Each structure stands twice: as C-alpha cells, then as structure tokens.
C-alpha cells in the first residue's frame, strides 16, 4: 500500500522492514535443534512471511539478529498467506494461524490505488479459507503426547523439569488449579534438589500460585546459584510481605549487600521499596554508587523511594563522593527534585528554597534549581507561602539560563508584597510552551538525550554534537522529527563546525518506538530551552510524519536530509 514511498521496498519489490509485526513467540520446545531454543519468531502478515531472530544478552540489554542472511524463516509467494499468530505444541512443533485473505489493510488506510488493485485482482475473495500450519524439522517423528489431565500430582511436579516449555507451563497451571496440599512438599524438594534452574523457577512460581505464604522456601531460594531463581524469590517475598511483615526484616540484611549481577541489582533496587525508610535509603545509595550511570537504575530508584525523595536528596548531597560533579549525579538530583515539586509538600519545598538561597551556588544547588523550575503552572492556592522574599529571586548576577530558571522557580512561591516587587526577575517573554509539556519534555530529555548531548544541550565529546542553537533542531520541524524517528549518521555540521567520528559517535539511534506525544514533548522542550524560541511541535504532526516516512529503515545522512529539503522546496 505504501510501496511508492522511497525506502519501503527493495529493488526486487520485497519489503525492507516490518509494517505489521505481530504474535512474537519465544521458542521453548524440544523438537528443533538446541540452537533454536530461545529464538523469537515474529509474524509479518502484510509481507507474507515469518522472521526468526536469535537473541543475545549482555547484562540488562537483549539484542536480536536475523537468523538468516537476506532470507526469512518462512516466506510465501502466495499473497494470501497471512500468518497472524504462532504457538508451539506438546510435540515441540511450531503452529501458525494463517488468516489467508487477499486483503488485510484497515479500511481507514485504504488508498485509491490499493482499492483499485484489490477489485482488479479479486483479492477481496474468498474469505473463509483460513488454516493452521504445523512446522517441524524434516524427518522428525511425532511423539505420543503425555496426557497431563490424567497425571498424578507427583507426575505434574516432575513435569516442571520437562525439556519442552509447553509441558512445564501446563503442569504448573494444573498444579495451581488442583491446589493439592501434597504438592507443597514435592515442590520444595524439587526446589532444593533439581539441577535444572527452569524446574526450580517453575517450582517457585507454582508455590506462589498455590498461595503458599510461608516464606522459608523463598528465603532459601535467595541463595540459589542462578540469578533468575534469586530474582523470582525476591519478587515473591516482596508480594507476601504485606501479609507477613517478618519477611521484610529477613530480607533487609540480604539486600544490604549490593549484588554484582546487574539483573539482581535491578530487582534489589525495585524490592527496596518495601524496606524501612533508613534501610531503604542505605540500599539505594549503595546501588547508585555502582549503577548511577544507567537511566534504568535511576528510574528504579525513583520508583522505590516514593514519598521519601527529599530525604534521599539530602542524604546524597551530604555524601563525600557527591562533592565532585558528574552529569549522572545532576540528572539524579534533578529528577528527585521534580518528584518533590509534584508532591507539593510545603515543608520540603520551603527547605529546598532555603538550601539554594545563597550567593555562591555549587553544582548541587544549580541542579536543585533546574528541578524546581520544571513544573506545571500553579494556581494561587497551590503556591508555597514564604515569610520573606528569598534573595535568590531578586539577584540577577547569574547567567541568563540560570536567571530564566530562577524566574520559573519563583512562580511556585508566594510571599508578602510579591506582586508589587519591581525588581523580580521577569519570566522569559517568548516562553510559549505549556508548562506541563515543558516538564514532560525535560523529564524525557534527561532520560533519553542528556547522556549524549549533555544536560545543558552543549554536546559531549566522543558522544554527540551540541543542540544549543543547532540549525538541525531549530529549523524545519519535519526535518527534526524524521531525525528522531529514524536516526542520523555523521558527519554533521552544526553552527559552522563539522563533527564526525571519533569526535562524536558515528550514528545517532532511532527513537521510532517512542510515542508521538513523547517525541513531540521532548522536541518542543529542546526548541524552547537554552534561550531558544522556536515553535513547538504537536503529536499529530509527529504521527503524520511517522506514517509518511515509515519505509525508512536506515539513519539519515546530511546529504539525504538536504536533498529532501530541496526536493520539498
């Protein structure tokens, strides 16, 4: 339907990229060779194919690669082949639901060209020929299935260690449904004795599904040699702590030892939310000391510290290793302050303004001011009352950017005579963006952009060029949007200075999976921060541009962007 758009089709007419990915399946059967286990199969009904991806994991990051070079696991020249769902069965084979229709396009997106083609080639019929395909290795024998519906409790527990994930899942389901008390002891034995971590993992979640709240088996699993078992036990203990408060006390000492494994460290960060305030704070400070540079951990800390953001902030700025500046520390302080502002606790907000009301501002004070400046416009009743005018609001000796932030901070507070003060710093007159969108954009910028472009938008050596006064972000909104949607590769010239690897990374990644609303917010923020006064960008514009450029699968080059701009002119 969109084949006329450049970058949608290869020269041979084949699809370059997914347009309707659906029904991903992680293969966990036992019929195919071992290297297929853990592969992900994804249906693409508009392209009449199924892709096979091999996965690789490094810490918390999972990446996927096509299992075949320039071909797919399954593709058909029959244009009515429409794979829309997949599963694996008790025999270990793959089963595919094929809708088998000539037309699969939604009516809203039916172009005149497609409508004409459908009628000309009778693609609108027939419509009742759907089928299920079974895929197995060549010459594989069909094994006789085990009837789990007739299996004893002992047999079902044994099946939790089966090589085929279908049997493991079904055995777990039946054990939970049966609620046989005899299963408890057998599951605990499996948890202690099985050499297979998957069997131990299923045993844990089966006990949880049977509403086993006695914590001993889960506490024992905290010492398991496989990280996924340890993480599962932490999650279960967190859930049962609400009805068994003693669990928290037994977890605390275990969690105070920061794990070296990133997967367990992340779960430790999340589970810390149930700890007592001082223990929680100690755990999270230790986590940040090791994993502060990872945005995922910063967000997890923010999730776990709920309603105690101010206490954590004060503890962090008093840490000796927080005297020296780093961009990661600044981001952490700013997102903590933003959460404090949103909570609107008057005592905490008054103490924050006292903390930064000084002649000499350290980097920590500037970070707090930045966090205070990002907020919705408060109503008169929401403003925080102060007894006297803080000097920071009448002091104009700071740089222009800081003065602009201080002026936004001042709108949070009210004090006697404020409205008649002639020497207050005036808000920037060209500030157009809705404060709520501005706050959303700032939060997103800190999460997805600042690690390369810097908190101040001035760029970072070895990572990315500056955004401040960059013609690429302040110029045509469409050009800025497609750069974020598809990425950009160097070299690139910004403000007359050429940037190329190794001075910057060779490629800026695509943010195609980010929602239109979030992309619009972060782009609008960039176009109106750091003294910029460019127009904002709305989500509708981003959505339209996403559809019109959906065939682009490689990053834009400077030459392509300039050519596109000249062509449109």
pLDDT at 566: 66
In this prediction, residue 356 has a pLDDT band, given cuts at 50, 70 and 90, of: very high
**Burial class of 316 by CB neighbour count within 10 A (0 to 12, 13 to 18, 19+):** buried
Q: Dihedrals φ, ψ of 74, to 5°?
A: -150, 125
Please answer whether residues 143 and 91 qualify as being in contact, where contact means their C-beta atoms are separated by less than 8 angstroms: yes
Number of neighbours of residue 382 by Cβ within 10 angstroms: 13
Tokens matching residue 27? 């293969």
> Does residue 565 register a pLDDT over 90?
no
When mean pLDDT is compared across 65-79, 107-121, 304-318, the lowest value belongs to 107-121
When mean pLDDT is compared across 49-58, 172-181, 333-342, 402-411, the lowest value belongs to 402-411
Question: How large is the average pLDDT for residues 466-488?
Answer: 91
The closest alpha carbon to 95, from 103, 86, 108, 104, belongs to 86
The closest alpha carbon to 515, from 486, 547, 543, 487, belongs to 543
H or E segment at 122? none
* Percentage of residues of the chain with pLDDT beyond 70: 95
Mean pLDDT of the chain: 89
> Does residue 4 register a pLDDT over 70?
no
pLDDT at 29: 94
In this prediction, residue 432 has a pLDDT band, given cuts at 50, 70 and 90, of: low
Please answer whether residues 38 and 101 qualify as being in contact, where contact means their C-beta atoms are separated by less than 8 angstroms: no
pLDDT at 300: 95
In this prediction, residue 260 has a pLDDT band, given cuts at 50, 70 and 90, of: confident
Please answer whether residues 43 and 22 qualify as being in contact, where contact means their C-beta atoms are separated by less than 8 angstroms: yes
Tracing tokens 């045993």 back to the chain, one arrives at: 203
Question: How large is the average pLDDT for residues 50-63?
Answer: 92
> Does residue 426 register a pLDDT over 60?
no
CA distance 207 to 239: 13
Give residue-wise pLDDT tens across range 221-240.
999 999 999 999 999 999 99
Tokens matching residue 528? 């109106």
**Burial class of 3 by CB neighbour count within 10 A (0 to 12, 13 to 18, 19+):** exposed
Please answer whether residues 96 and 51 qualify as being in contact, where contact means their C-beta atoms are separated by less than 8 angstroms: no
pLDDT at 2: 64
When mean pLDDT is compared across 319-323, 425-429, 462-466, 526-530, the lowest value belongs to 425-429
Number of neighbours of residue 298 by Cβ within 10 angstroms: 22
> Does residue 200 register a pLDDT over 90?
yes
In this prediction, residue 264 has a pLDDT band, given cuts at 50, 70 and 90, of: very high
Alpha carbon of 195 to those of 88, 97, 191, 238, 460: distances in Å? 25, 36, 9, 26, 48
User: Kindly report the CA angle at 347 between 341 and 353, in degrees rounded to 5?
Assistant: 65
CA distance 358 to 361: 7
Number of neighbours of residue 489 by Cβ within 10 angstroms: 17
Question: How large is the average pLDDT for residues 171-175?
Answer: 97
pLDDT at 205: 98
What pairs with residue 113 in β-bridges?
Answer: none
> Does residue 553 register a pLDDT over 80?
no
The closest alpha carbon to 550, from 12, 14, 20, 26, belongs to 20
In this prediction, residue 6 has a pLDDT band, given cuts at 50, 70 and 90, of: low
In this prediction, residue 569 has a pLDDT band, given cuts at 50, 70 and 90, of: low
User: Kindly report the CA angle at 300 between 297 and 306, in degrees rounded to 5?
Assistant: 140
pLDDT at 530: 87
């Amino acid at each position: 339907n969109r084949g006329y758009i450049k970058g949608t089709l290869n020269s041979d007419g084949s699809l370059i990229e997914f347009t309707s990915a659906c029904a991903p399946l992680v293969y966990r059967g036992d019929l195919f060779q071992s290297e297929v286990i853990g592969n992900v199969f994804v249906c693409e009904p508009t392209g009449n194919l199924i892709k096979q991806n091999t996965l690789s994991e490094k810490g918390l990051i999972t990446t996927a690669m096509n299992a075949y070079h320039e071909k797919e696991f399954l593709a058909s020249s029959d244009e009515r082949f429409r794979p829309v769902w997949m599963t694996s069965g008790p025999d270990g084979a793959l089963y595919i639901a094929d809708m088998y229709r000539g037309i699969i396009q939604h009516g809203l997106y039916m172009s005149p060209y497609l409508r004409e083609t459908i009628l000309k080639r009778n693609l609108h019929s027939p419509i009742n020929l759907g089928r299920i395909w079974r895929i197995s290795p060549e010459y594989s024998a069909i094994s006789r299935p085990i009837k789990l519906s007739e299996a004893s409790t002992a047999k079902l527990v044994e099946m939790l260690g089966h090589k085929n994930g279908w049997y493991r899942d079904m055995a777990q389901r039946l054990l939970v449904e049966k609620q046989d008390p005899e299963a408890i002891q057998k599951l605990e034995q499996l948890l202690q004795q099985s050499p297979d971590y998957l069997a131990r993992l299923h045993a844990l979640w089966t006990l949880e599904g049977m509403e086993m709240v006695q914590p001993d088996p889960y506490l024992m699993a905290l010492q398991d040699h496989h990280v996924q078992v340890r993480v599962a036990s932490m999650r279960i203990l967190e859930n049962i702590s609400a009805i068994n408060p003693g669990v928290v006390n037994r977890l605390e000492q275990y969690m105070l030892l920061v794990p070296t494994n990133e997967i367990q460290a992340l779960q430790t960060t999340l589970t810390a939310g149930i700890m007592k305030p001082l223990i929680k704070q100690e755990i999270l400070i230790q986590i940040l000391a090791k994993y502060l540079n990872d945005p995922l951990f910063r967000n997890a800390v923010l999730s776990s510290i709920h309603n105690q953001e101010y206490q954590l902030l004060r503890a962090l700025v008093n840490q000796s290793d927080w005297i020296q500046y780093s961009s990661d520390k600044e981001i952490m302080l700013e997102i903590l302050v933003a959460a404090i502002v949103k909570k609107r606790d008057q005592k905490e907000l008054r103490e924050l303004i006292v903390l930064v009301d000084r002649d000499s501002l350290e980097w920590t004070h500037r970070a707090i001011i930045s966090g205070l400046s990002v907020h919705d416009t408060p109503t008169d009743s929401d403003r925080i009352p102060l007894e006297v005018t803080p000097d920071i609001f009448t002091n104009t000796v700071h740089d222009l950017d800081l003065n602009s932030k201080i002026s936004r901070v001042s709108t949070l507070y009210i004090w006697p005579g404020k409205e008649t003060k002639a020497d207050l710093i005036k808000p920037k007159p060209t500030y157009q963006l809705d404060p709520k969108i501005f706050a959303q954009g700032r939060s997103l910028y800190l999460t997805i952009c600042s690690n390369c472009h810097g908190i101040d938008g001035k760029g970072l050596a070895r990572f990315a060029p500056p955004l401040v006064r960059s013609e690429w972000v302040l110029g045509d909104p469409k050009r800025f949007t497609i750069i974020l949607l598809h990425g950009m590769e160097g070299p690139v010239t910004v403000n007359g200075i050429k940037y190329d690897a190794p001075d910057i990374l060779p490629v800026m990644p695509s943010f195609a999976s980010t929602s239109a609303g979030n992309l619009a917010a972060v782009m609008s923020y960039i176009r109106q921060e750091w003294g910029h006064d460019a127009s904002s960008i709305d989500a509708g514009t981003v959505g339209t541009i996403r559809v019109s450029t959906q065939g682009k699968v490689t990053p834009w080059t400077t030459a392509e962007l300039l050519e596109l701009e000249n062509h449109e002119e």
